[in-house]
Chain A
Amino acid sequence: MGNFGNFIFEQIVNGVITGSTYALIAAGMTMIFGVLRAINFAHGEYYMLGTFAAWYAISKLEVNYVVAIVLGVAAAALIAATIGRFVMQRLVGAPFQAGVLATIGISLILQNAVILAFGGGYKVFEGGWIEPVEFFGFGMAQQRIVLVVSAVAIFAGLEWMVRKTRMGKAIRAVSQNIECCQVNGIDVESVVRRTFLLGTALAALSGVLTAPVNVSVYGGMGESITLKTFAVIVMGGMGNVRGTLLAGILLGVVEALVSGLIGLQYRDSVGFIALLLMLMLRPHGLFSQKARF
């Protein structure tokens, strides 16, 4: 039975690794939701953009991985800044469905623009620290450890940012009550812009960090991530950063166990089945004290 124990442990480790990526991407999305009350159907596309930019930097500009991380995130952030300025900030106070429609549009544009520019084929992502290391009796690439560590670090940073900095306080204020902020002279639009920038940058970063172990880069890679993120942000309690980390890792672990014990083909529905169960039992998310709206 110890054998089985090891197996479960290994699956949990696998889950934590994948989950921390989910958490990273979802963190951005949940903050954006907090200030904008809009579901971002294009969030996965920034994950894709970051990865693509990094791939381009490595294989065409022949820079090393660390530089590629910076370039990748920067490129994605640049595009996000434009979109934030011209689209997202105009969604403040717009009907919910307007946000859905607009972000679907953006995701179509970004995804197919990349396909148009670089072709639809998969690109192999070179670079990253992929040498396997022995870890409790099973091997894994160093990159995965880097991934988990940086995820934890980033979340610590976010937590600090949200609690301590002016930016963070502004974000929290806007999340709680937009009208009130407008009255109190907080520039809601700029807060939205900056939050959006931060959120998308996180998505891009997690893209670049996972690329070495996910190997492939292609235009459509954002879609499935976006769907997963939805499940995570609702479970984490919309707009709740800490909850998102836990929800993300939880989802990762459950997925790993399901695909390890039942079958990989059921993996994608796990998130939403869990989500539905949770919504039935705790409609306000697993971790947030009260519904925010």
Chain B
Amino acid sequence: MALTPITTITTLDTPHAPSARLPAVRWGTAGTALLALALAPLVLDGYYLHALIIAMIFLPPAHGLNLILGYTGMLSLAQGVFFGIGAYASALLSTHFGTPFVLNLVAASLIAALIALPLGIPALRLRTTSFVMCTLGFVVIAQMVAKNWVDLTRGDMGLSGVARPKIGFGDTTLAITQIPQYFYLILVVAVLATLAFIALIRSPAGRCMVAIRDNETLAESLGIPTWTYKLIVFMLSAAFAGLGGSLYAHYETVVSPLVFQMYYSNTILIIVLGGGVGRVPGAIIGSFLFVAVTEALRVTPELRMILYGFVLLLLVFVFPQGVAPLIERATEKLSRLGVKQEKSL
């Protein structure tokens, strides 16, 4: 039996006849949300900004997972690996060569993608559970490598003192040290990543991914080289993860083999499933939701993880499609409402 296809999910361009102004409303909501984020530093203090930053750091990897799970239909637990690889790549570049932030950022996602290639070629021969287990194996092995390749990674000592990002050149250089600056920097990266993601799934290739998810044989019979697409998607999702890892390294300023714990893969998975798999807003809503929940639960440190567990069960059984659909429906209602009002006027 294959990964039970997520047949109920709707693709980006929703098939059911949408209210005429729905897209407008969509962009409207997106714009408002973005504006709200952009203004956040004016009203919120450090802790909230930090929470938002964490959310936005996990956003690109979540997009990556959404791409491979939600749009191509393969569950990969290796996102954490590529997240970690991205983090290590940035940390190594910055500590050894003092390369600028932007370069590290790009390099991190490139390196992640390149490492995904040799891993993906064998792994993608596998189906469903075997593939999941294989990606799980990558996590364990990555941690072993990080711990034992001491010459490169300094092993358990980890790499500390990763440089704070600097933007610009020469005397126009701006050193990012304050939380609000970080916030805007990471906001920009997150937005760019999101746009890239949308572009991807709106491209003809995006349709091919959905086709592979829906019925691989049929797609193959229509001349779509499914294997090639799956490999590319695997690498792309790794690139997204690497991006997040790089942001993480430059924000936390320390990287240790602990970034290869299951924690990160799980977190990314929870974000995507919680938000709504196979939906653009899914990963976005998910990442903020995740941070909101985990941080809110800090009110009871000792009960925190137990409650968190219950929240996961709640997700599975009460919101199996994630929370994005609720919000989408809300916006739709909104749009219909708008129409009515116009009529009444």
Contact = CB atoms under 8 A, between A and B. Distances in A.
A200 B331 CA distance: 45
Q: Looking at chain B's contact residues, is the secondary structure mostly helix, strand, loop, or mixed?
A: helix
Given A108-B312, A279-B130, A101 B137 contact: no
Interface stretch (B91-99, B195-203, B314-322): B314-322
B306 interface: yes
B125 interface: yes
B247 interface: no
Contact of A102 (B69, B128, B129, B312): B312
Contacts of B6: 95
A246 B158 CA distance: 38
Nearest to A272: B137
A113 B307 CA distance: 10
A101 B75 CA distance: 12
Interface in B92-132: 122, 125-130, 132
Contacts of A231: 133, 137
A113 B306 contact: yes
B82 to A, nearest CB: 17
B270 interface: yes
Interface stretch (A65-73, A136-144, A261-269): A261-269
Given A101-B312, A269-B140, A96 B4 contact: yes
Contacts, number: 127
B136 interface: yes
Given A87-B313, A101-B269, A230 B144 contact: no
A39 B143 CA distance: 22
Given A95-B3, A109-B306, A276 B312 contact: no
Contacts of A265: 144, 147-148
A236 to B, nearest CB: 12
A98 interface: yes
B141 interface: yes
Contacts of B130: 234, 279, 283
Contact of A109 (B4, B148, B309): B309
B305 A108 contact: yes
A33 B130 CA distance: 12
B147 A293 contact: no
Contacts of A104: 266, 270, 309, 312
Contacts of A279: 122, 126, 130, 133-134
A173 interface: no
A107 B305 CA distance: 10
Contacts of A275: 133-134, 137
Interface residues of B, number: 46
A267 to B, nearest CB: 9
Interface string B283-324: 000000000000000000011111011111101110010000
Given A39-B129, A238-B129, A265-B148, A100 B308 contact: no
A227 interface: yes
B302 A116 contact: yes
A59 interface: no
Contact of B136 (A107, A108, A230, A280): A230
Given A97-B269, A116-B302, A234-B129, A106 B3 contact: no
A1 to B, nearest CB: 30
B2 interface: yes
Interface string A196-215: 00000000000000000000
Contacts of B148: 265-266
The 10 A-B residue pairs with the shortest CB-CB distance in the complex, in nearest-first order: A105-B312, A272-B137, A108-B309, A109-B309, A269-B144, A293-B1, A112-B305, A105-B309, A102-B316, A95-B4
27 contacts: A37-B1, A39-B129, A94-B4, A95-B320, A96-B3, A97-B3, A97-B269, A100-B269, A101-B273, A101-B312, A104-B309, A108-B306, A108-B309, A108-B312, A113-B306, A227-B262, A230-B136, A269-B140, A272-B136, A272-B140, A273-B141, A275-B137, A276-B141, A279-B133, A280-B122, A283-B126, A283-B127
Interface of B: 1-4, 6, 69, 75, 122, 125-130, 132-134, 136-137, 140-141, 143-144, 147-148, 262, 266, 269-270, 273, 277, 302-306, 308-313, 315-317, 320
